[in-house]
Structure 1
Amino acid sequence: MNKSQIELIVRISETGSFTKAGEELHMTQPAVSRAVANIETELGTKLIKRDKKNGLSFTDIGERILITFRKILSELQKVDELIAAEQGLEIGKVHIGAYRTACTRFIPKIIRTMESQYPGVEIKLSEGSVDQVKEWLRSKSIDVGIIIPPDK
């Protein structure tokens, strides 16, 4: 298993599509299908269920492996960041998930401030419901979640 294969599986989960994941990674859809088949063969288990009617979804083991794959990619990113810091550079990626009001009201100002202070840091914003943001945090799809605090 290599970094490219791990990135492919994570990208498929993020896009919900072999075709879209392939486009983002500059791969054809047949190449993505072959790569996924090879990964599943190597691991000895199915990760992704394909259904023409309902699209694709991850198996239970696929969901658990996906969490680990995200952790692996995060740790590899930390290695890149450590090397860059040693060279005097600030780099990295921060994926923020937030509910609609936050995305339109105060997150843009925060992002502008971060981009001006840390131009080497890539910021990705995903908008969803509070429940979606909580799920993204649980599955480690995002690094930071902005949600409405509970009443309690």
Structure 2
Amino acid sequence: MMNLAHWRLLVAIADTGNISRAAERVGITQSGASQAVTQLESALGIQIFSRSRREVTVTALGEQVVEHARAMLSHLTAIRNLADDSQGLNQGRIRLGSFPSLISTLLPPLLRNFQQRHPGIEIIALKATDIEIEDWLARDAIDVGVVLNPAAERHALIIGRDAWMALVPGSHPWGRRAMAQGVTLSELATQPFILATSGCTIDAQSLMENAGHALTDVRFTVRDPSTAHALVREGMGVALVLASTLPEDMRNLRALPVVPAIHREFGLVRSQAGQHSPAASALWGMIDSTIRATTIADAQSPETPYRHTSSP
């Protein structure tokens, strides 16, 4: 089935001459973009792009398709601008507080989609710790903030779920364990430990204390997860880190799940100011719709990238 994402991708490929850059522009993976192009060409029964190892060029017939796609997207933008004008959404500003890792990973596709729908609204993304975000929400310094493990009464939109993992040197005896066996918190508590805080209140220390354990041999306390990775790689100790922070280069490292599994959730919460902001309400509604659509599409999957709790 062809949708707007297909047409935006088509125009982006024509503009960049590269599927990877086009995929990044529209907020999908390269493999997803390649599949979308194949689906689009199959549905139309024509070849739109000519591919080589170095570049992607538009065919003669494809040029005409691209021009029609540009016109269609331009008309859609004009329609949305007209609708935004009628609702007072032709301009405005949203102040969003988040952890640095989410600003560079999970949030960009959501924010990019919103700004395509509402180009007149400016989004100011502010990086902060969970404590700072809670303070900003309480003082109405931001409209929307990402909070950790929000209570049900806060009516959050849960946009991510991250598993805690034990990170050990490749030479560690646990490195030969099967993934299913994992590592318990009681085992971790007695090891030479690299404590990575990431500037958050929920870290290995608090997890241990909540489970009735104490870290008995903390060798280093660091803020940056990458520093913890480097220290573990050098055999200086073990660490408890979030799966999303694991390095791409896992040489001399082994990550094992904590058993029983422990997860951290993060969700969007609106301040009082955000609840009365038409722009913030529009963003909230779009993300809510995305969550619902993703949940329906992935209903057979054990985990989805977004989860909806409740909204007022």
Same fold (TM over 0.5): yes
State the distance in 2 between where 1:34 and 1:89 align.
Answer: 34
Partner of 1:90: 90
Please name the residue that 1:36 is paired with: 37
- Structure 2 counterpart SS, 1:42: helix
The CA deviation at 1:121 is 7.4
SS at match of 2:22: helix
More strand by share: 2
CA positional deviation for 1:77: 0.4
Go from structure 1 to structure 2 and tell me whether the alpha carbon gap of 1:6 and 1:84 turns closer, same or farther (over 3 Å shift).
Answer: same
Q: May I ask how many residue pairs the two structures share in their alignment?
A: 94
Shift of 1:75: 0.7
Partner of 2:181: none
- Compute the displacement of 1:90 (Å): 2.9
Q: What is the alpha-carbon root mean square deviation over aligned residues?
A: 1.9
Q: Which sections of structure 2, spanning at least 5 residues, go unmatched?
A: 92-118, 123-312
Shift of 1:26: 2.2
Secondary structure, in 3 states, of the residue corresponding to 2:74?
helix
2:13–2:56: 8 Å Cα contact kept in structure 1?
no
The AA in structure 2 aligned to 1:67 is E
Percent of matched pairs sharing the same residue: 34
CA distance in 2, matches of 1:62, 1:36: 12
Inter-partner Cα distance in structure 2 for 1:72 and 1:62: 15
User: Alignment partner of 2:57: what SS?
Assistant: strand
- 2:51 partner SS: strand
- 1:100 is matched with which residue? none
Q: Which amino acid aligns with 2:36?
A: A
Structure 1 Cα separation of the partners of residues 8 and 82 of structure 2: 20
Task: Give the aligned partner of residue 11 of structure 1.
Answer: 12
Partner deviation per Cα, 1:97-152 (whole Å, 9 max, x = no partner): xxxxxxxxxxxxxxxxxxxxxx9279xxxxxxxxxxxxxxxxxxxxxxxxxxxxxx
Partner Cα distance (2:10, 2:72) in 1: 12
Q: Residues 27-75 of structure 1: CA distance to partner in whole angstroms, max 9, x if unpaired?
A: 221111111000000000000000125x111011100010000000001
Q: 2-side partners of 1:89 and 1:26: how far apart? A: 23
Which residues of structure 1 form unaligned runs of 5+? 92-118, 123-152
- SS of equivalent residue, structure 1 residue 49: strand
Take 1:84 and 1:26, find their aligned partners in 2: how far apart are those partners? 23
The answer as to whether partners of 2:50 and 2:56 remain within 8 angstroms in 1 is yes
Q: Following the alignment from structure 2 to structure 1, what is the Cα–Cα distance between the partners of residues 27 and 44?
A: 24
Letter in 2 for 1:57: T
CA spacing shift, 1:26–1:121, aligned 2, 3 Å: closer
CA distance in 2, matches of 1:28, 1:88: 34
Counterpart AA for 1:59: T
Q: Structure 1 residues 10, 75: CA separation in 2 closer, same or farther (over 3 Å shift)?
A: same
Higher Cα Rg: structure 1 or 2?
Answer: 2
Alpha-carbon distance between aligned partners in 2 of 1:87 and 1:20, rounded to the nearest angstrom? 34
The residue aligned with 1:47 is 48
Closer/same/farther in 2, CA of residues 33 and 121 from structure 1, 3 Å limit: same
